[in-house]
Amino acid sequence: TGWALGRRRIPGKEAIMSTILLPRMIPPIAYALGVAQIFYRLHLIDTHIGVAIAHVAICAPYAILVLSSTFEGLDERVLEAASVCGANNLRTFFHITLPLVMPGILSSIIFTFTTSYNEFTLTLMTYGPKTITLPVRTYLAVGEGYWEVTSALSMILIIPSLFVLFMIQRQVQPEKLVGGFKGV
């Protein structure tokens, strides 16, 4: 979807993007109540697939927005130059396109991971004893007055995010994230 919206001329592209971003425009509690009602009818409350679908619905707009912008900014001249130099489609993809769009892909991963990992409202409306997540458990611990548990769960919530950021920082060259590509 990100590739198509970023690289192709699609009639009604703005309307499509608005529809994709709609879940993020609605207040979280209103969206969560609607999803909970639908999931209740479909027997998806307290199921892993239900929580996964809910999180994808919340995270997909971020991924599509970031990736469509990334692919839209991909310079067609670079891809044509690779073709002129004799690179086939597969070689162009792995050696030219993928390295150029990798910062956008990593940004998309960071946004979606962080959003899903910290999603509270939607998960609170669709969880059950079998599908409780850390943010919901932290909320319940605060409500029950277990401050030691709350502190420990807060650290557990922070550590994976810091780990992901540390790993990405080691892999990505900062100048490519900020200034683009010189000479292209």
184 domain residue, yes or no: no
Q: Is residue 183 part of a domain?
A: no
Q: Residue 17 falls within a domain, yes or no?
A: yes
- The token pair at 27 is 């207040």
Question: Would 71 be classed as within a structural domain?
Answer: yes
Report which secondary-structure segment, H or E, holds 83. helix 76-84
Tokens 């109540």 belong to which residue?
33
Domain of 171 in residue numbering reads as 2-178
Question: What pTM value is reported for the model?
Answer: 0.73
How many structural domains is the chain composed of?
1
Whole-number Å distance between alpha carbons of 120 and 28: 9
Q: Is residue 57 one of the residues assigned to a domain?
A: yes
| CATH code of the domain in which 101 resides | 1.10.3720.10
CA terminus-to-terminus distance, the chain: 26
- Distances, alpha carbon 48 to alpha carbons 17, 38, 57, in Å: 28, 15, 14
pLDDT per position in the chain (184 positions), as tens?
Answer: 777 777 778 888 888 888 888 888 888 888 889 999 999 999 999 888 998 999 998 899 989 888 988 888 888 898 889 889 988 989 998 998 899 998 889 888 888 988 888 888 888 888 777 777 888 888 888 888 888 888 888 888 888 878 877 877 776 666 555 544 444 4
